[in-house]
Structures are given as C-alpha cells and as structure tokens.
Chain A
Amino acid sequence: MQGSTPQNPSSAPGAVAAITHARFPGLARRLPWLVLALLAAFPLLAPALGLEYYVGFVRRVLIVAIAATSLNFILGYGGMAALGHAGFIGVGAYTVVALVEAGFSSAWLAWGSAALVAGLAAAAIGAVSLRTRGVYFIMITLAFAQMLYYLAVSLRTYGGDDGYGLYTPLELGAWLDGAHAQVFYWVVLAIAAAVFALFSRVAHSRYGHALRGIRDNETRMVALGYPVYGLKLAGFVAAGAVAGLAGGLLASHNAFVSPSIMHWTQSALLLVMVMLGGAGRRWGAPLGVALWLTLEEALKLYTDYWHWPLGLLLLLVVFHAPQGVAALLERRGGRESVR
C-alpha cells in the first residue's frame, strides 16, 4: 500500500488534510499497513472470534474492491463515467469458465487470461466509446455491456442463463495447494493490495496528472499537445483488464458464473459504490465497497427490507457528502490517511 509516498494536496480539502497531517504524522503513514496486517491476520483470528463465515465475506469485499479501484481510476481520475464495467468482470469470469471447460486447471493461467481477454475487450469497446462524450459515453458503454450480457445468456455450452458451476477449485501450484484452507484469501488480499498500490502510484505519476488534466479540461490538454485519445484509451484498457482479473477471482470465489454478474444493475452498483466512497479519492473505492457490502450484509440479518436504508444513504450522501465518505472523513476527523 502507498502509505509512505508523499500526499499531493491538489485541492482545497487536500490542503486542509495536509495541515492536519502535520498534527498526526505517524498515523497517516501507518494506518494502511495496520489495515493490511489486520486483514492478513483475519483468517487466523476468525475461528477464535467465531467469525469463520466472514472470511469468505471479506474475500468478496476484496475482490469487488479490486474492480471498484479500477473503475475509480478511470471515473475519478480520468472523468470517464463508464456504466458497463460489470461487462469486463463478466468477460474475465467467462474466460475462466472457458479455460476450465477446455481442461485447464492452473489458477494463474486462468486469472492471467481473464485479465488479458478483458483488456482486449476493453481496447475494442474503448476505441469506439471514447469517441463520444458525456451522457452518450455513459449510454454506449452500457450498450456494449448489455451486448456482452446477451452473448453470455446465449452461450449454452457454458450454461446460458442458468450459469456454470466450477466444481473443482483451480490449482494455485506446488506448495500453495492444501497448505492452508485460507491460501486463496491471502492470494486475493495480495492481489488487491498490489492493484491498489499500483493504481495509487499511477494516479500520482506523470501519466496520472495528464489524465486528471484531461478530466478537468480536455480541450486545453489537446492544445498542449497531449495525445488525449490514446491516454484515455490506455487508462480504459488497464481498468478493463483489472476488472477482468477481479471477474476471474470472483468466478473462483463463487465457484459459479452466470450472466447476472454482468447485468447493468451490477455496473450501476459498482459506480454507486465508488461514488459513495469518493470518486477520485485514493481510498474512495475500497471504503465505498466495504461500507456498502457491510451494510447490505448487516441489514439482511435483521430485515427483508434492506434496500430502502441503502437508498436513503445514497440520498444523504448526495446532499450532505457529495464528494463521498472519504472526503467526509477527511473533513470531519482530519484523518488524512483515509484520502
């Protein structure tokens, strides 16, 4: 995780955060590592606390957070409001299904291919979609995701509408298999941490600054001589590939793949979670995913009517914390580490 890199106070709240940062110098740097350590220790501590069930839940949160982080990158930093991101998750998941059906069993091959194929799909879709602007971009990414959805529904070899069960877990290789029941959890955690660190790093690189420049004023960036279309496409492809990787992991996690994972409401949910956490904030995606999925899980315990409190939460966020929860925490608590 990126706790040790200097923060970039690029906005007014950022500047405030930088001042509060001076008051809590240690916490800001250590908190990400603390969270990572706690997450890594969780499968070992869970049995003692009677929380075994939640190991699987945290694993799902981590996988969704990988996809959300990639969406946050193009949405928050690149200003590309893609309403079809679940389509790439689906491409990744179905790539795993196709390889398993063909007789392959290596997890690394399957997940790597998932990222690769989803990246190729993103290149094709992005090449067309990025020629449009604003609402038309939202709609055309949605349209492509719907096409992928109907394609999956029609693939009877892979179960069509009923989905496809992955009955034997993929092999992680030599010593990783069977060493510990929770190895898959740690693998997911390591990938999530790596993806998060990578996107955080890139967001503050020269490329990341160029991308933000395009988000804020595309015409000016064109005038300055930046290859705007290519830069956006590169970000779109990277995000699509990472979403595909998350899809591959999700296929292993659920041991089941069905077209419903790429339904448009899934794309909308992913957008909603990123916005809830704070689009364009380093911690926005994981915070939003963790908050949304935890609330969903907790509300389901108590009531069948668990949708409306979440709906109310969205309205509250829109009117009282339009920059997302990450920005809210930053402002209220002065905890810069959540940025």
Chain B
Amino acid sequence: MDAIFVFEQLLNGLGYGLMLFLIAAGLTLVFGIMDTMNLAHGSLYMAGAYVAARVHEASGAFVLAVAVAVGVTVAIAAVVEFVVIRRLYRRDHLVQVLATFGIILIADDAVKAIWGVAPLLASTPAALAGPVDLFQGLPYPSYRLLLIGAGLAVALGLYLLVNKTRVGMLVRAGASNRQMAEHMGVRVGGVFAFVFALGAALAALAGALMAPISAVQIGMGEAILIPALVVIVIGGIGSVRGAFVAALLVGMVDTAGRAFLPPALRAVLPPSVAADLGPALAGIAMYVLMAAVLTLKPAGLFPARG
C-alpha cells in the first residue's frame, strides 16, 4: 500500500460520496419538509440510469443522454407525486413505507417489461474513456474526475439555491417547522411538489452519471436506497448540509473500508480469519458509523428541526 493507492481510493470515496449526496439531498428534503418516507426514491435513480444508458447508446451524445434522463425522470416523478405521494403526506410512516414499497414493485416490473431482465452495459463517453495523469505516476480515470466535478458543482448550486434564494428560504422554513411556515402563509404543498421534482432530478442525474461505472440492472434502486437512508439519518433528517457531510463520510468510510481493511487485517491476523473478517467489517462499517452517530447525537449531526 503506497501513497498513490491511498490517494486514488480517497478520490474514489469522494466520487461515491458525492453521488450518494445527489440521491440523499432529495430524500432528506422530502422527508424533512413533508415528513414523508419515500422508499421509491431509489426507483427514480434506476429510471435515470436506464434512460441515460439507452439514449447514450442510441444517440452517442452523453450530455443529451443525461439531459433526457433527467427530463423523463422528473416527468415520471411529477405523475407519481400527483397520483400517489400527494395523498400520503399526512399518513403515518408505515403507511408511506407500504405505498412506496408498492411503487418499487411496479417500477421494477415496468423496467423489466421495457428493457428486459439482463443488465445493460452503459459505456463511458468516448472523450472521457482514457485516464489522465493527475500528477507524475498517478493516472486516474477521467470519467471519475467528471463525476467528482459534476457532484461538487451540483452541491454548490444546491447550496446557493437553498441558502440564497427565496424558494430556498421557503424550503428551509418548511423543513424546520412546517406548521409555522403554513401559518405564515407559505403554500407548503407547492413547495413540496417543487422539492419532489428537484429530488427526482438529482436522483436521475446520479443514476445517469453512475450508469457507466456500475451495473444498470433491476434492483439497483433498492441497493442504493439503504446507503442513502443511512446518509440522511447521520446528517439529520431535512438538512442538506448534513446530507452533504454525511454523504462524504459514508462514501469515504465505505470505500476506505473495502480498500484498506482487508490488507490491514491480513497484516495482524492469520490469513483465514482475515479473509472472513475483512469483507464483513467493510460491509458493516457505515452501519457502525450510523449507530455511533445516533448514540452520540440522536437527531443526526445537523438536525434541521430544533
């Protein structure tokens, strides 16, 4: 293990963390403002990945593919919000779990009907296929650099939107105290429809960007949902800033756990034990992080209400 390997893994962790943030940002706002637990958020991520992969394959234009993926997913999300989610706002969390689990089942079958069971192979855009030398002796895939750049840009944009604009003020007001915001004349319903669409756009963007470096398959939404939920719980439900910090933490801990724990254990334990223990510890690292944070700060790192 040398410095270059460590640096490379840290960059990977940063990229993964930023993609997690794109998914978690929408989830935490929907959760924070309308107190709605949306398990189907992962399905929007899946929709973005599938649409982007197919459009890219058909047209060869990556930027167009991402734009179409975001547009289509936002349209789907608007329909879902209007037909189902809108009626769930005032119901309790378990009912929301039940309904959005139903949406997951329907979404998975819809994807199967349209694109088949086999995973899609999404290609990276030709211009970004090769590695670039970050500095002497460290080639890094240029596509992953794009991922990091896009993630940072969106995070900055979201920060400005939430903290510096009028819409953002209404969003924050709704997140910190919905009832009070309503009494002050904010149409929280409209704000929520906007936030839901925004969350869908971010999830689709993450899906479209992740498609070339992950498996585009049925169930990818459920797989990413759990880390995203861990992120919003660690960050504090409803807090975009918390989601950002927590996403980077989880991304780093998860990537570092997988990269460094197995070799580190092999150094101190007998090989057979280390081979068993390494992957297990790497897999549970982010859950241990969550349990630790909740023990010390039961409402997450940056509670939005209070």
Which residue in chain B gives the minimum CB-CB distance to A310? B105
Judge if A142 is at the interface, Cβ distance under 8 Å.
Answer: yes
CB-CB contacts below 8 Å: B83-97 with A = 84, 87-88, 91, 93-95, 97
Contact B105 A154 (CB under 8 A): no
Judge if A120 is at the interface, Cβ distance under 8 Å.
Answer: no
Q: In the complex, A306 Cα to B112 Cα: how many Å? A: 11
Neighbouring B residues of A140 by C-beta, 8 Å: 290-291, 294
Task: Looking at the assembled complex, report how far the CB atom of A236 sits from the nearest CB atom of chain B, in whole angstroms.
Answer: 17
Select A153's contact among B108, B226, B283, B299, beta carbons within 8 Å.
B283
Task: Looking at the assembled complex, report how far the CB atom of A281 sits from the nearest CB atom of chain B, in whole angstroms.
Answer: 14
Contact B94 A132 (CB under 8 A): no
Contact A142 B226 (CB under 8 A): yes
Judge if B215 is at the interface, Cβ distance under 8 Å.
Answer: no
- Scan B211-230; emit 1 where CB is below 8 A from any A CB, else 0: 00000000000100010011
Judge if A307 is at the interface, Cβ distance under 8 Å.
Answer: yes
- Scan B90-116; emit 1 where CB is below 8 A from any A CB, else 0: 010111011101111110111011000
Neighbouring A residues of B91 by C-beta, 8 Å: 318, 322
CB-CB contacts below 8 Å: B266-306 with A = 275-280, 283-284, 287-288, 290-291, 294-295, 298-299
Which residue in chain B gives the minimum CB-CB distance to A317? B98
Majority DSSP secondary structure for residues of A touching B:
helix
Contact A81 B298 (CB under 8 A): no
Neighbouring B residues of A311 by C-beta, 8 Å: 101-106, 109
Q: In the complex, A155 Cα to B93 Cα: how many Å? A: 35
Neighbouring A residues of B103 by C-beta, 8 Å: 311, 315
Which residue in chain A gives the minimum CB-CB distance to B83? A315
Contact A128 B106 (CB under 8 A): no
**Stretch touching chain B among A28-36, A224-232, A243-251, A264-272:** A264-272
Contact A305 B222 (CB under 8 A): no
Q: In the complex, A136 Cα to B88 Cα: how many Å? A: 20
Judge if B233 is at the interface, Cβ distance under 8 Å.
Answer: yes
Neighbouring A residues of B69 by C-beta, 8 Å: none
CB-CB contacts below 8 Å: B239-256 with A = none
Contact A153 B280 (CB under 8 A): yes
Contact A307 B106 (CB under 8 A): yes
Contact A136 B233 (CB under 8 A): yes
Judge if B237 is at the interface, Cβ distance under 8 Å.
Answer: yes
Contact A136 B94 (CB under 8 A): no
Most buried by A among B110, B230, B294, B295: B294
Task: Looking at the assembled complex, report how far the CB atom of A308 sits from the nearest CB atom of chain B, in whole angstroms.
Answer: 4
CB-CB contacts below 8 Å: A286-313 with B = 304-308, 310-313
Which residue in chain A gives the minimum CB-CB distance to B96? A318
Contact B233 A154 (CB under 8 A): no
Task: Looking at the assembled complex, report how far the CB atom of A339 sits from the nearest CB atom of chain B, in whole angstroms.
Answer: 20
Task: Looking at the assembled complex, report how far the CB atom of B158 sits from the nearest CB atom of chain A, in whole angstroms.
Answer: 23
Contact A318 B283 (CB under 8 A): no
Neighbouring A residues of B99 by C-beta, 8 Å: 314-315, 318
Judge if A167 is at the interface, Cβ distance under 8 Å.
Answer: no
Contact A271 B94 (CB under 8 A): yes
Neighbouring B residues of A156 by C-beta, 8 Å: 275-276
Contact A139 B290 (CB under 8 A): yes
Once A305-B112, A318-B102 are accepted as A-B contacts, the answer to whether A268 and B97 lie under 8 Å apart by CB is yes
**Stretch touching chain B among A48-56, A144-152, A186-194, A330-338:** A144-152
Select B95's contact among A268, A305, A322, beta carbons within 8 Å.
A322
Judge if B210 is at the interface, Cβ distance under 8 Å.
Answer: no
Select A154's contact among B101, B279, B299, beta carbons within 8 Å.
B279
Contact A305 B113 (CB under 8 A): yes
Judge if B200 is at the interface, Cβ distance under 8 Å.
Answer: no
Once A147-B288, A268-B101 are accepted as A-B contacts, the answer to whether A279 and B94 lie under 8 Å apart by CB is yes
Contact B106 A312 (CB under 8 A): yes
Q: In the complex, A271 Cα to B97 Cα: how many Å? A: 9
Judge if B37 is at the interface, Cβ distance under 8 Å.
Answer: yes
Which residue in chain B gives the minimum CB-CB distance to A276? B98
Neighbouring B residues of A276 by C-beta, 8 Å: 98
Neighbouring A residues of B279 by C-beta, 8 Å: 150, 153-154
Q: In the complex, A279 Cα to B93 Cα: how many Å? A: 13
Once A264-B226, A268-B97, A318-B98 are accepted as A-B contacts, the answer to whether A308 and B287 lie under 8 Å apart by CB is no
Contact B98 A135 (CB under 8 A): no
Q: In the complex, A151 Cα to B285 Cα: how many Å? A: 12
Contact A143 B97 (CB under 8 A): no
Most buried by B among A139, A310, A322: A139
Contact A150 B284 (CB under 8 A): yes
Neighbouring B residues of A322 by C-beta, 8 Å: 91, 95
Q: In the complex, A155 Cα to B109 Cα: how many Å? A: 33
Once A311-B103, A318-B95 are accepted as A-B contacts, the answer to whether A154 and B290 lie under 8 Å apart by CB is no
- Apart from A132-B294, A318-B91, 20 more pairs, CB < 8 Å: A128-B295, A139-B230, A140-B290, A140-B294, A144-B287, A146-B226, A146-B284, A149-B283, A151-B280, A153-B280, A154-B278, A271-B94, A271-B98, A279-B94, A307-B105, A307-B108, A311-B101, A312-B102, A318-B95, A318-B98
17 contacts between A and B (CB under 8 A): A131-B298, A135-B93, A136-B298, A142-B229, A147-B287, A149-B283, A150-B279, A151-B280, A153-B279, A154-B277, A304-B112, A305-B112, A308-B109, A311-B104, A311-B105, A314-B101, A318-B99
Which A residues fall within an 8 A CB radius of B?
75, 81, 83, 128, 131-132, 134-136, 138-140, 142-144, 146-147, 149-151, 153-157, 264-265, 268, 271-272, 275-276, 279, 304-308, 310-315, 317-319, 322
Which B residues fall within an 8 A CB radius of A?
31, 37, 39, 84, 87-88, 91, 93-95, 97-99, 101-106, 108-110, 112-113, 222, 226, 229-230, 233, 237, 275-280, 283-284, 287-288, 290-291, 294-295, 298-299
Shortest Cβ-Cβ A-B pairs, 8 listed = A314-B102, A154-B280, A311-B105, A150-B283, A311-B106, A308-B109, A311-B102, A143-B287
